Structure formats: C-alpha cells, structure tokens
Amino acid sequence: MKKLLLLAISFSLFLSCSSTQKSTKAKTSSQTATSAPKKDKDAMKSYDKVITKDAVTDEGMFKVHKVKKQYYYEIPKNLLEKDMLWVSRIAQIPTGLGGGYFNAGTKTNEQVVHWQQFQDKILLKVKSFANVADSTKAISNSVYVNNYEPTLYAFDIATISKDSANVVIDVTKFFQSDVKAISGLSARLRRQYKVKNLDKSRSFIHSVKSFPQNIEVKQDFTYNASEPPSNRATESISLQMNQSMILLPEEPMQPRLYDARVGFFTVSQYDFGSEELKADRKTYIRRWRLEPKDPAAYARGELVEPVKPIVYYLDPGTPENLKEYIKQGIEDWQKPFETAGFKNAIIAKDAPTPEEDPEFSPEDIRYSVVRYVASTTRNAVGPSVSDPRSGEIIESDIIWYHNHLRSYRNRYLLETGAANPSARTLNTPDKEIGEMMRMVIAHEVGHALGFPHNMAASYAYDVESYRDGAFTQEFGIASSLMDYARYNYIAQPGDKNIRFIRQMGPYDHYATNWGYRVIPGANSPEAEKKTLDSWILDKAGDARYKFGRQSSRFDPQSQTEAIGDNPIKASTYGIKNLQYVAKNLPSWTSDKTNNYADLEELYGEMLGVWSRYVGHVVTNIGGVFENIKTPSQGGTIYTHLDESSQKESMQWLHDNAFETPTWLVDESILQNIDHAGYFERLRRVQARHINNLLSFDRIGRLVDAETTGTEYYSALEMLRDLRKGIFKEATTGRNVDIYRRNLQRTYLDRMGYLLENEGPSNSFSRPGFEGRLVFNVNTSDVRALVRGELRTLRAILNRAKNGVNTETRYHYEDAIARIDGWFDED
C-alpha cells in the first residue's frame, strides 16, 4: 500500500510540474506575443501623428512645420544630395562683442552642405570643393574616399510623407544646441570672455521661415560667461543668430579663369581629373551671374539689361540725409557695367516697409543690403558670399559704421586743408561729406562685385598732374576707385579747380569689362582664355590699366594711401601742406569750439598722416617693382629700384623724418592737450620707421640685390648711410638734443634686436598681400653687417664723448655701454 501511495503522490507531483511548465511556457509565449506592439510603438510614427492638426506649416524649399514647441523640416527626397550654401550671421549683438568689426550682419561662417539619407537617419554633411574630378573619370572615386565629408548633425527620421516623396526630421534640438560650426562665438571669443556653456533655459528658436529657394532661421542664444564684453554683472552673453540655407544652382555658372594681371577675388580647387601630370590647381574669379536678356542684341554690341540685375537694399536704419549718397555710390557702377555691355545692371532700392513686405529681413540671403551700423568703429567693408564651385557671388552685405564719416572729415581737413579752403572747418559742407560717403560706398560695392584693392592705380599719374585742375576733374586722383587714394594731398595753395576727392577711373571700366563681359560662343573657361588675354595685351604698358597687389611691404608703386608716381616728390608736397595745416590747426578747431577735444584728436591724426608720407619713401629702400606678365610679353616681373633713387630716399628720410620735425612740436598745441609726454609722441612715430628700415625683410632684399648682377644699393651702404645720418652730431662735435637722443637710442635698440633675434620663422601672407622674406639669418650677412656697424659706431662715440655738454656725454657713454653689453664675449 505504501508503494502504491508513493507512486500516486509521485505521479501527482509530475502532473503538477508538467502543468506548471506548460503554464510558464504559455505565459512566456503570451508575453512574447504582447511585446510585439512595443516594437511597433518604437517604430516610425505615421505622418498624422507627427505633423498633427495643430501644426503651423510654412511652404517653401522645405515645408517647415511648427507643432507646439517643436520644429520639423519636411525634406523632399529629390533635394537630398543637392548642394546648398549655409551662411551664419549675427542678427543682433551685445555691445562690445568681438571688438569694432563685429556687428549685426557680421558673417561668422560660410559652408556648402547637403542632406543625405543613411538608413533611418538624415545626415547634414559639410561639403568641400577644394579637390574635384569629373564624375565620369575613375579618379573621382579616389577623390571621394580621400575627402570624407564631416557630418555636422545626424537626425532621426520622424516620419515619411503620405506620398513617400518627403522625409520629416525634428530640427528643434539642433537649432537649440551650441553647434560650433554655425555659432556666433569662435573659440577665440569663448576664451576671451570665458564662456562656460550655453544656457538652454535662456536659449530658444526665434523663428523659422521657408522660401522657394532658401530657409532662414533665427536663434536667440544666451551663454554663461565669466567675463562678458558688457553688462558684466549678468555674467551672460546674449546674441541672436541668423542661419541662411539657400539652394545652389543645379547648373553652376560658367567659371572664368583668373589672371593675376587683372584684380579679382578668387576661388580655387585642385582638379585631379586634369590631363596635367599633377593635380591641376584651377583658380576662378568671383563675380555675379550677369546674363543678357537678349543675347543676340548683346552679341551685336548693343546695351542689354541682365536677366537678373544686382540689387542692393538700404538698411531700414539708414539716416534719411545719407540715403541719396549711398544710392549714388551703388549705382556709380552702372557706367562700368555699360562698358561690359549691360545697362541697369546694378540698382539701389529702399528696404520695403513692414507693411510692404512683413517678411523682409536684412539677414535673408536673398537680399544684398547696405547695412548702417550704430558703432563707433571708423570703417566700411564690402564682404560677399559665393558658390565655391564657380565663383558666382550669391549675396553681399556692405557694412557702413556710423563714425566713419568722422575719419573722412578729419583726413579731408588734414590732407587738403592747405589748398582747399572748404576743408578748413570742423563742419565740412554736407555736399562734400556726401561725395566722400558716395565714393566710400562705391569702393565697398567694388569689393562686393569681386574687386580687391588695386594699389598701383595711384601710381599711374605723374605727381605734377595733381596740381592740374582740368586733369584732376577728368581723371580724379587714381586710375581706380579700388586704390586707397582718398584725397589729393599734392595740390598746393593757389592751384585752381582741383578735385580733391577720389572717383571712378579707367581701370574700373577695364576690369569690369574683363570680368563680366559675356564672350559669345565661348562655352568653357578655356575657350574664353584667348579673348581675355587679348584684352590684357591691348592695355599692356599703359599704367592706367595696371593692377598692383596690396603688397606695400616691398613695391613702391603699390602702396596704401599714396598718390603719384614719385613718393619723394609726393611726400614733399604732402609735408609742405601739412606744415601749413599744423600752423593753423588751433584756429580751425579750438578757437572755434572753445575746447581742445577736436584739436587733440586732429593733432594725433596729423602725426599719423605725416607718418604715412614718410612710410611711402621708406618703401623705396630695398624697393622691388612687381609687374606681372607672361613670358610672351618679355621682360622680368621683379625689378629692383635703382641705386640712386634709393640713396636719394635715404637722404630724404634724414632731412624730413629723422632730423627733428620741430613744426610738429608746437607748444600752443601740446601744452593744451596733455601735461607731459611730448618727446615720446614723436619718438614713437620715428621709431616705426627706424624699425621698418632695420627689418630682416628689408635688409634681406638688399642683400639679395647682390645676386641680380645689376647696379644695386647694398645692405652695407644702407646701414652705413643710416648710421652716419642718425649719429651725425658725433662727427661734427655738436650736442645732441632730447629728440635726437631718443632717436639714437631707438636705433641702438633695433640694432640689438637684429643682432640677437632669429628673424621671422614663417611668411605671413593673405590674398593680395606678399609675405615676408624668410631666410636663415645666422648664415646670412645680417649679423656681420650689424656687428661691424656697431663697432664702428662705438669707436666714433669714444672719440666724440669729450668736448660736448653733460647730457650728450652721458648719452654717448650709455650708448657705448649698450654696445659693450652685446660684445661681452670680446
């Protein structure tokens, strides 16, 4: 019985266990079955659940949906992989951020992007055109894999449109995050202001607007910062950013190959598909796309309107009394464009009122704007954004800073006041101020049209022509408005009918025609080359059509703020005029205003004007002319200034810069603007030119002249002539006054620098500028020449220290001690 009972219990337990296992399996199966909806829950939502009935939709290039606090882009699949230009600008800015050249409208980044689908994500990729190859060539694959594009952001696909033609992504987090590539704060500014992080509680999307070809996003950002530029107690930086994204043309504009003989801003790329036995660097000019409405009439030589003219809007904040001059400055370029075959190619308009166009915004990339900035900065700039594939300029903003007119008033008084009675006032006539502004705006528009500075344009005219009224009225003061030639400082008192303010010149017409004229039948950049070259050769040898880079470091004919083809003669006239102005400065300023503020400001700027005139002559020393040409034109590109002109320049510097210019040390001015420091004001300016003469760069060019096999002004001659002039009292037994003692010590400081410093380690350069000459100073003649000159000077001073007054003797003994300090090893 016990056995039977045990068997019954065991069987019962088995059944129970089996039942439990079946139940567990069933439960697990049931749980697995009920967990499937979780997968569905995590999967992509239907369109209606993402873009709900609460959505506010803005139609455009992408549909933009706002659903409560979320923003969605609905991207047509046919726009994936399309090139788009993304421009980041500051829309509103706190006081002092970034210094004087940051303002509402400042561009902080420009990049080409495209949207790319990868599995269930949309990637925002940053695209470069630095390296390219024809897509039909095998090497294009190598270019692709060796230039992997960075991913700016990865978005989950939120849903697909009902017709499956569009993908929808949530862009809220992206535009509310501190994405460095589209930020208004660079790494430098973050360090400067000790920015900790973006405060998300005080940052938000201001607006998102979609248009047929572009999308505009405004973001309000507040950063926590220990040392903000203003409102320090808040420990915050708030600014508004504008992000513009515009679809680039499906078919890029036909590029035009750059030629260094005509000045243009450029874009460059390496073509790995070229037939050359290397990656072929191709450089294209930057220009607007101007196409004639009537190509047949254009080909016949008739003036034709462009399909799409260049339109500039005036900032709504522009003062009413200045609008006329700004518009004139913009439309002054209509004449050069007529030379290129286009009429009404560039137009100025007032910005529409909110009633006329409530969506108009100066930051909108569809509009080019002359922005008027309430800033104490004294300048104006003409930046633009362009398509890197072709150089096509898409949009530009001219920036005019409010206080810039003050600079022009002051320069007008100082540089033309001797010969121009209407400039002898603090209240420059409105018409003349307007004319100055007009020309500045035209100059900046020139930059926005693709033209860099042409610093050779002011060297095109003979110095004496500036005293000829008929000549200046017709030709102005430079052959191009793109030179830094602002005023005629050469004309003398009594000269009649003189034009003192710059204007458009023949080079501007020539360069506009060269860059913008459509060449019928030329369907590639290479097909245009022969015609473009012939236009240059037609003008070769005529100084009015020469382009000179902003390389004032070495080229006497391409200097900033200079006019005339002879720096010695021009600066002599300029200083003569400045002496007249200095004598009358109090009567034109403080005597009229009954305070000394303007006198102090103008005196300081007068020292700067004098320094510029001196600097133009300094460039002659070690000067090298640069005349870009092709081998078929014959001759050399680089030519050293002749020896006699350089020696004449050195003597001029001793007579006009290093011999104390006592007319600049006027007690009636100095003792009314400062309690002390009179000698130091002058020493600082003189030191600038001593240091400039005694630079490794200049001495290196003088040494290099020995290798040319022509007559040259040697480094030894230059150093010897400089030393003899600076210390001429030591050979004549005269006492040395305070100004000359300061000058001589400045010379010694600089010679010590040459003896001990290693020289420049890299060649600073940027487009339009020539870098420094970099060479091995230790193996060059520099140290030996400097050491030899200092030893010669020590011997002279040892002989001269007796028979002079106490100050001079102490000064000489100090100079000897300084030299001995460098020669301790002896």
Per-residue pLDDT tens over the stretch 58-86? 999 999 999 999 999 999 999 999 999 99
- With a pLDDT cut of 90, the percent of the chain lying above it is 77
Asked whether residue 796 is domain-assigned, the answer is: yes
In this prediction, residues 426-445 reach a mean pLDDT of 94
Mean local confidence (pLDDT), 550-574: 92
Contact (Cβ atoms closer than 8 angstroms) between residue 111 and residue 256: no
- Dump pLDDT digits (tens) for 401-434: 877 888 899 999 999 999 999 999 999 999 999 9
Structure tokens at 20: 């439990």
Share of the chain above pLDDT 70, in %: 93
Residue 311: count other Cβ atoms within 10 Å of its Cβ.
14
Whether the CB-CB separation of 64 and 80 falls below 8 Å is answered with no
316 by Cβ neighbours in 10 Å (0-12 / 13-18 / 19+) ranks as middle
Last residue of a domain, one of 224, 247, 270: 247
Write down which residue in 247, 274, 306 finishes a domain. Answer: 247
pLDDT(290) > 80:
yes
Higher pLDDT, 172 or 15: 172
Average pLDDT on 672-699 reads 91
Say if residue 368's pLDDT is above 70: yes
Asked if residue 397 belongs to a domain, the reply is no
Whether 593 is in a domain gets the answer yes
Q: For position 826, what pLDDT does the model report?
A: 45
Out of 363-367, 587-591, 613-617, which region has the weakest mean confidence (pLDDT)?
363-367
Rounded Cα–Cα distance for residues 87 and 202 (Å):
24
Sign of the alpha-carbon torsion through 505, 508, 509, 511: positive
Position 24 scores a pLDDT of 41
> Does 667 fall in a domain?
yes
In a domain, 131, yes or no: yes
Residue 767: what pLDDT? 59
| Residue 2 CB partners (closer than 8 Å, separation 6+) | none
- Judged against a pLDDT cut of 90, whether residue 305 lies above it is answered with yes
Give the model's pLDDT for residue 451. Answer: 96
Q: Which residue, among 548, 562, 576, 556, has the nearest Cα to 491 in the 3D structure? A: 576
pLDDT of residue 559: 93
Assigned domain for 490 exists: no
Average pLDDT, the chain: 90
**Cα–Cα distance between 764 and 714 in angstroms, integer?**
25
Do 782 and 703 meet the contact criterion of CB atoms below 8 Å apart? yes
Task: Look at residues 517, 173, 507, 540 and name the one whose alpha carbon lies nearest to residue 338.
Answer: 517
Parent domain of 792: 574-826
Lowest mean pLDDT among 73-82, 193-202, 343-352, 371-380: 371-380
Question: What would the pLDDT profile of 382-396 be if each residue is shown by its tens digit?
Answer: 889 999 999 999 999
What's the confidence (pLDDT) of residue 765?
Answer: 57
Residues whose CB falls within 8 Å of the CB of residue 20, separated by 6 or more in sequence, listed in order:
none
The whole-number pLDDT of residue 592 equals 94
- Cβ-count burial 45-84 (b if 16+ within 10 Å, e if not): eebeebbeeebeeeebbbbbbbbeeebbbbbeeeeeeebb
The pLDDT value given to residue 443: 95
696: pLDDT strictly greater than 60 = yes
Q: What confidence tier does 32 reach under pLDDT thresholds 50, 70, 90?
A: very low
Question: What integer pLDDT is reported at residue 13 of this predicted model?
Answer: 41
Q: pLDDT band for position 667 (50/70/90)?
A: confident
Structure confidence at residue 770 as a pLDDT band (50, 70, 90): low
Quick one: pLDDT at residue 666?
Answer: 84
Q: Which helix (H) or strand (E) holds 735?
A: none
* Residue 487 in this model has a pLDDT that exceeds 50: yes
**What is the total count of domains within the chain?**
2
Task: Out of 247, 278, 298, pick the residue that ends a domain.
Answer: 247
Query: Is residue 157 domain-resident?
Result: yes
How far does the chain reach from its first CA to its final CA, in angstroms? 127
The per-residue pLDDT for range 738-757, each reduced to its tens digit, is: 999 999 999 999 999 999 98
- Give CA–CA dist 49/71, Å, rounded: 14
Flag whether pLDDT at 442 surpasses 60: yes
Burial of 195 (0-12, 13-18, 19+ CB in 10 A): buried
Confidence of residue 766 (pLDDT cuts 50, 70, 90): low
39-43, 244-248, 638-642, 764-768 — which is least confidently predicted?
39-43
Give the global pTM.
0.89
Would you state the pLDDT for residue 339?
A: 98
pLDDT at position 20 = 43
Q: Supply the pLDDT for residue 169.
A: 97
Asked if the structure places residue 512 within a domain, the reply is no
Chain mean position to CA 390:
20
